[in-house]
Chains A and B, each alone.
Chain A
Amino acid sequence: MKAVRLDTYLSIVLLVAGTLVFMEAKSFPQTPGEFPVWISTILIGLSALLFIQSVTNRHDDKKLDINNKVLIQIGITAVAIGTYIILLPYLGYIIASFILVLSLSILFGYRSIKYLAMTPLAAVLLCWVVFLFILNIPLPGFAE
């Protein structure tokens, strides 16, 4: 559990984001830039309000409820999906998806070797058959 004052930090992040959006909007010509300028101004204003609220009512400001182990697992999952996207055109749908499902199953704590040997492959093949043959949607590696 990290002792982070959630709303205070959130408001600072949003203030910075709002300012960046505002600066970018200001570089647009007047007509397309009008709406983004309004939105970013509102975002900056609301972020400032949240900051004031979090500072004045500190008892209402919660701590960030996230475990480091959870954060690492989610980070690895996101990296695995990113790697999958990169490898998909090279390995094709079946191989890339099989590796993804197998590695994620193990990462999430699925330990039955008997099922690990069969279920990820069966699930990927089922998915591939449904998309390619029933729905006629070409998947990478089998596009033509």
Chain B
Amino acid sequence: MENLILAFSQIMLPSVFIFLFAGVLIGLVVGSIPGINDTVTLAVLIPISFTLEPSSALMLLVGVYCSACYGGSIPAILLKIPGTASSVVTLLDGYPMTKRGQAGKALGISTISSVFGGLASSLVLMFFAPALAIYALKFGPAEYCALAILGFSTVAGLSGKNIIKSLIVCALGLFVSTIGLSPQTGFPRYDFGSVWLYEGVPFVPMLIGLFGVASVFHMVEKMVKQRIEGTEETIVPEVGRILPNWKMVKRLLPTWCTSTAIGNVMGIIPGAGMLMAIYLSYGQAVRSNKDKEFGTGVPEGIAAPEAANNAVVASSMVPLLSLGVPGNATSALFLGALMIQGLRPGPALFEKSPDIAYLIIVGFFVANLIMGPLGLLFGKFLSRTVFKIPQAFLASIVILLCCTGAYAIDNSLFNIWVTLAFGIIGFGFDKVGLPHAPFVLAIILGAMLERGFSQALAISDGSYMIFIEKPISLGLLIASACFVLFPIIKFLLNKTQKQR
């Protein structure tokens, strides 16, 4: 409690608050630009932030992460263009409302839903992360190894259509994690004769490439297609009244609660991802409102995905802050941000730098409080200005920022090569249907798995029983087995029922 109060007082310092406010504002703007999302912005901002004080730097990133997710709903509702992947579902009912002349109402619902989901998940982060971190202090090498296995099993169990592709991406990520000096013997592996790779593939430049440069390649693809198809100029519709009335708030409350709960659970599970939370909550809203025709401009169709995606934001930080395992790709970028500030996420963060750990937690809560009024105030303004920025110019500036950011981390041109290479890899992944998130997760978990496994075996004199004898490790391994087996059992049961 004392730490929380201290964090609240720290956040109110002008030098810290201004960065949080700036982050929320930047997030709103970039989120509403189609093609630029929270991961791209964070990837570009991390190198910029590392010269700042850790408190200011992290508040800037917290602000961006919170609001970019909401900002994506603005073009989704007004133009039927999802600003971020998280707003894909929002447009299903948001755009029909705009066509009916209710753009303002749709934006208002999106804002309030996002704030509701965001505030609720901030509370989850506030209470869960420190508690889990205290528990995680008991973790030894065997437990960390089991935790890494749990991370992989969630990817396997919760992956979408093609489980094999998700697992292949995990294997590729694991391979990347082995590049560099071996943690046990210092033997160089897959270094291609380059000393630059002795410490492994530079993490932040890799993320900048995977998310920043790859997104520019997607913008290029979109621009070329638009030129071929001769797409018409964007016309922004009238917005009108934004703030929803009390009757609407009461109507949407059950949807917000359900979707927020789904978002929180999905956020905490590493690898589950935002899209899964959005689709699950939208599906739940459809089931709970069978009398309404979704896809025609139903307010619940906006409230459910928006509350869920913002609920994922803070809750995805629970495993990162408490265990050092990122919940999704964006929180993996936070891992990079903490690392270049010389901080190590996990239980040690709460022990050694409680001020930073609690500041991040409180930052998410305050960022959501700022986002509400800012979103309502700037909704109209953003819809008029941001959509007019030429994509061609934007793409070239993002490339410049990616290159400059990658170089700035340790004044190395090699970093820009890494950024370019992973930009191409990231775009290639998208084209062949390989997901990005398990790749990043596997790189982080791979190091944890190898280190934990070898240290655990060293402690036990080579006996694998250490993983079963330790209750936490055993519990994690059982949970991993459940994650993998549950979808298989469900599939077999469905098949048997169909045959009957």
Q: Are B416 and A85 in contact (CB under 8 A)?
A: yes
Asked if B399 and A100 make an inter-chain contact with CB atoms under 8 angstroms apart, the answer reads: yes
B165 close to A50 (CB less than 8 A): yes
Q: Given A110-B393, A124-B400, A130-B48, are A69 and B228 also a contact pair (CB < 8 Å)?
A: yes
Contact A110:B424 (CB < 8 A) given known A49-B164, A69-B228, A135-B48? no
B420 touches A110 (CB 8 A): no
Residues of B with C-beta under 8 A to A31: 182, 184-185, 187, 454
Which of B296-304, B329-337, B402-410 forms contacts with chain A?
A: B402-410
Residues in chain A near residue B224, CB distance under 8 A: 67, 69-70, 73
Inter-chain contact B187/A53, CB cutoff 8 Å: no
Q: State in angstroms the CA–CA spacing of A119 and B178 once bound together.
A: 43
Given A10-B432, A137-B51 in contact, is the A88-B172 Cβ separation under 8 Å? no
A101 to B392 Cα, complex, angstroms = 10
Count residues on chain B whose CB falls below 8 Å from chain A CBs: 57
Nearest Cβ on chain B to A99's Cβ, whole angstroms = 11
Given known A-B contacts A46-B168, A104-B395, A110-B392, A97 and B404 have beta carbons under 8 A apart: yes
Please determine whether B400 and A123 come into contact, CB atoms closer than 8 angstroms.
Answer: yes
Interface residues of A in 104-144 (CB under 8 A from B): 104-105, 108-110, 112, 115, 119-120, 123-124, 127, 130-131, 135-140, 143
Note all chain A residues with C-beta closer than 8 A to B178.
35-36, 39
Q: Is A77 in contact with B217, judged by CB distance below 8 angstroms?
A: yes
Is B227 on the interface with A (CB-CB < 8 A)?
Answer: yes
Cross-interface CB contact of A135 among B51, B164, B223, B227, cutoff 8 Å: B51
- Shortest Cβ gap from A87 to chain B (Å): 11
Classify the interface of chain B: helix, strand, loop or mixed.
helix
- Does A43 lie within 8 Å of B392, measured CB to CB? no
Q: With A43-B172, A97-B404 in contact, do A138 and B411 touch (Cβ < 8 Å)?
A: yes
In the assembled complex, B431 has its CB within 8 A of some CB on chain A: yes
Q: A43-B172, A46-B167, A64-B431 are in contact. Are A108 and B396 (CB under 8 A)?
A: yes
Asked if B404 contacts A131 (CB within 8 A), the reply is: yes
Given the interface contacts A35-B178, A139-B407, does A28 sit within 8 Å of B189 by beta carbon? Answer: yes
Inter-chain contact B432/A100, CB cutoff 8 Å? no
Dominant SS at the A interface? helix
Smallest CB-CB separation from A119: which chain B residue? B393
Task: Report A72 CB to chain B, min CB distance, Å.
Answer: 9
Decide yes or no whether B401 CB sits under 8 A from chain A. Answer: yes
- Which residues of chain B are within 8 angstroms of A119 by Cβ–Cβ distance? 393
Inter-chain contact A85/B417, CB cutoff 8 Å: yes
In Å, the complex CA distance between A25 and B403 comes to 32
Say yes or no for B116: interface residue by CB 8 A criterion.
Answer: no
Establish whether residues B432 and A70, one from each chain, have CB atoms under 8 Å apart when the complex forms.
Answer: no
Number of interface residues of A (CB under 8 A): 66
Q: Are B396 and A6 in contact (CB under 8 A)?
A: no
A46-B168, A67-B225, A81-B399 known; A35 vs B450 contact (CB < 8 Å): yes
Residue B308 lies at the interface, judged by CB distance under 8 Å to chain A: no
Residue of A nearest to B217 (CB): A74
Are B220 and A32 in contact (CB-based, < 8 A)?
no
B160 at the interface (CB under 8 A from A): no
Structural contact, B48 and A78, CB atoms closer than 8 A: no
Task: Evaluate contact between A105 and B404: CB separation under 8 angstroms.
Answer: no
Q: What is B's interface to A at a CB cutoff of 8 Å?
A: 48, 51-52, 164-165, 167-168, 171-172, 174-175, 178, 182, 184-185, 187, 189-190, 213, 216-217, 219-221, 223-225, 227-228, 390-393, 395-397, 399-401, 403-404, 407-408, 411, 413, 416-417, 420, 423-424, 427, 431-433, 450, 453-454
What are the nearest 3 A-B pairs in CB distance? A32-B182, A108-B392, A104-B396
Chain A: residues with CB nearer than 8 A to chain B?
6-7, 10, 14, 18, 21, 24-25, 28-29, 31-33, 35-36, 39-40, 42-43, 46-47, 49-50, 53, 62, 64-67, 69-70, 73-74, 77-78, 81-82, 84-85, 88-89, 93, 97, 100-101, 104-105, 108-110, 112, 115, 119-120, 123-124, 127, 130-131, 135-140, 143
Interface CB pairs A-B, < 8 A, 11: A7-B433, A18-B171, A24-B190, A25-B189, A39-B178, A43-B172, A81-B399, A85-B403, A93-B404, A127-B404, A131-B48
